[in-house]
Amino acid sequence: MKTMRKRNENKSKKMGNYYCIIHTQHAIMNCMVCNATFFDNDETLFQGGRRLCSSLHCVKKLHFSFWLKRMACAEKAMGICLRNIIRGENLMKKIIALVLAMVMVLGICAVSSAEEWKFERGITIVCPWGLGGGADSTIRPMATLLQNKLGVPVDVRNETGGSGVTGATFAYKEPADGYTFLLGTQSLYIQDMLDNMDFNFKDEFECEDILVHSINMLAGSKIQMEKYGIKNFTDLKEYAAAHPYEVSVAMLTATGVDGMCFEIATEGLALNPVTYDSGSSANSDMAGGHVDLSVGGYDDMSGLIESGDIIPLLLFCEHRIDIMPDCECTAELGIDSYAGPWRAIFAKKGTPQGAIDTLVAAVEACREDASWQEFLKNAAYDQRVVPAIGEELQQFCWNEYKDLRDYMFEQETLEKDYDDLK
């Protein structure tokens, strides 16, 4: 079975406090972003002891928010390219320098547009899931911070139903004027490929910034685990192998991320699935001993773990986490399953780039707020690094779509396919 790819945990490199222009003297070196080679006497951008080529793309790639604030440096870099055109030693160098200069002119225009964008009225972020759930509990504290940062109301509108389809459809029908955004997860990818939407979500919406990436967990009822003598996942596998179909597991949907995590981890075990309509009812029954196991995010189960009603058995993660150091993780057991729900801000195609850039820049600034950092810590969201905006985020989202598509294809639940995912 093809499993979820292990996500890239590399943090994006952070900027220092300044840039300046230098000449490389009798040295051959590479740009830390694009790996371009600098030869003797080439001019480069120098930052915090590290070198970048004079491409504005590399400055942008290194750090989005800093790039927006340092256009003077980009303009100076463009000047370097123009001078290289005049004094270039060969035709190829002149051509390359001219192309770089043209790219920078376009880049400066784009940034200028973003800096000039100002929200004139309130913003709506559509949440396709209900009040008090994981998605709603994530976007509301960020919305408060964004409101203070942008100086306009930021309203969270809950449009529930259809496993997120109702909210996504509502956002799709709104004009792409920069004042309506969508909170989404990979669950919307699944609903899209189940063909439960009247439009192609993959083509009509783009992920702009991931707020959190949660860690999924397999937990067990304390009452039932003590009855079976199970203390960890290794014990569970041994007991389930010796007692086929005796251990029950709460399932919301077999085609979702939770179901995929569970199936990969328990492949070969004979368990008894029990269907539930909501995670809260499944967790309640698990705490009461009416169902043995359930899969969900730590953020959804933390209260019952703290009260001692349920026992964490397995983390679908690359490493153990600080908040539960004794709980086994899939990586150490050789299980290739790391999927966890993430929550991100999406924009409808056609939304003004200036509005997107301004909102994303505000989100990045709000990440540093002490209240947001505390929120991340309490929900164990700080145990996973989200993809950096730009190419890393785009590749991450494509990988998620691809992995879910392949899993659904193997499960024979794929109803809508995309050519670039085949």
Q: What is the pLDDT of residue 36?
A: 55
Q: What is the pLDDT of residue 103?
A: 54
Region 41-57: mean pLDDT is 43
Each residue of 121-160: pLDDT tens digit?
999 999 999 888 889 999 999 999 999 999 999 999 999 9
Q: What is the pLDDT of residue 263?
A: 83
Domain 216-329: homologous superfamily in CATH = Periplasmic binding protein-like II (3.40.190.10)
Q: Which residues contact 322 (CB under 8 A, 6 or more apart)?
A: 383
Instruction: Please say whether the beta carbons of 154 and 142 come within 8 A.
Output: no
10 Å CB burial of residue 349 (0-12, 13-18, 19+) is exposed
Q: What is the pLDDT of residue 370?
A: 97
Residue % of the chain over a pLDDT of 90: 53
Q: What is the pLDDT of residue 98?
A: 56
Same fold, 123-213+342-421 and 216-329: yes
Q: What is the pLDDT of residue 155?
A: 98
CATH number 1.20.140.10 is the correct assignment for the domain at 123-213+342-421: no
Instruction: Please say whether the beta carbons of 314 and 329 come within 8 A.
Output: yes
Q: What is the pLDDT of residue 71?
A: 42
Q: What is the pLDDT of residue 69?
A: 39
pTM score, two decimals? 0.69
Q: What angle do CA 382, 383, 384 make, to 5 degrees?
A: 90
Q: Which residues pair with 343 in a beta bridge?
A: 212
Has residue 415 got a pLDDT over 90? yes
Ranking 28-42, 116-130, 280-294, 372-386 by mean pLDDT, the lowest is 28-42
Distance CA 170, CA 125 (A): 11
Q: What is the pLDDT of residue 19?
A: 35
10 Å CB burial of residue 194 (0-12, 13-18, 19+) is middle
User: Which of 142, 151, 155, 141 has the alpha carbon at shortest distance from 119?
Assistant: 151
Region 231-255: mean pLDDT is 88
Instruction: Please say whether the beta carbons of 340 and 318 come within 8 A.
Output: no
Q: What is the pLDDT of residue 350?
A: 96
- Domain residue ranges of the chain, discontinuous segments joined by +: 20-116, 123-213+342-421, 216-329
Q: What is the pLDDT of residue 134?
A: 82
Q: Is 363 or 251 the better-scoring residue by pLDDT? A: 363
In single-letter form, the type of residue at position 315 comes to L
User: Which of 125, 157, 313 has the alpha carbon at shortest distance from 232?
Assistant: 313
Each residue of 55-114: pLDDT tens digit?
444 444 444 433 333 444 444 444 544 445 444 445 555 556 555 556 555 554 444 444
Distance CA 108, CA 99 (A): 14
Each residue of 247-306: pLDDT tens digit?
999 887 656 677 788 888 888 889 998 888 777 888 899 999 999 999 888 888 888 999
Has residue 239 got a pLDDT over 50? yes
